[in-house]
Amino acid sequence: MQPDHENLSAQQSLDIITAMIRQAKGNVSSNSFYFLLWGWTIAVANMGVFVMFRFTEVKDPTIMFSITIVSAVISLVYGARQSRRSKSTTILDAANMWIWIGYGVICFTIAAFGRQINWQVNPILITVAAVPTFVTGIMLRFKPLMFGGAALWLSGIILFLVPIDIQFLVAAIAITIGYLVPGYLLRKSNG
């Protein structure tokens, strides 16, 4: 029994792969929304904790980071609406989505046990954030996201070396460089 498909030439295979990448780039780059939403959320939360630690007696980061719950709900609603509107989803779209969902699970797991490690979660979260950011940049062939991932990784190293109150300031700067700058450039490139 012969398969129902015909053998593709090397050029046809390359054309299909190129079309998939182009489609995925269009789908994912339209989602600069997530980089901007989470970039602002995490940068504001980190700056809030930095100010709290420096100028008040309160030393509980959960107060400021509770805004992430609102952003998670917004992300879920936005994602559900986007998936209903999407004309087509490629394997790259699905891979990118699951990479970020995995990162989100890691974030909430580490944050849930933040008290056990004296709230020194930023070095871990920022370092781990480098991976999905960099991989998304590679998938999109978008250098600002690749540079953003590299900046997050380098910032993660710095975070391991500075006192906890300074970690929140460094993390806010890292997220600005790693998420917000590429997010705005991605939005601009998508028109």
Q: For residues 159 and 126, is the Cβ–Cβ distance under 8 A? A: yes
Buried b (16+ CB within 10 A) or exposed e, 41-61: bbbebbbbbbebbeeeeeeeb
Tens digits of residue pLDDT in 158-171: 999 999 889 999 99
User: Taking every pair of C-alpha atoms in the chain, what is the biggest distance, in angstroms?
Assistant: 76
Tens digits of residue pLDDT in 17-70: 666 666 655 555 567 999 999 999 999 999 999 999 999 998 888 889 889 999
**Dist. CA 92–CA 139, nearest whole Å:** 7
pLDDT at 33: 93
Tens digits of residue pLDDT in 80-95: 888 787 766 777 778 8
**Dist. CA 25–CA 142, nearest whole Å:** 9
- Structure tokens belonging to residue 19: 């079309």
Tens digits of residue pLDDT in 104-129: 999 989 988 888 988 789 999 999 99
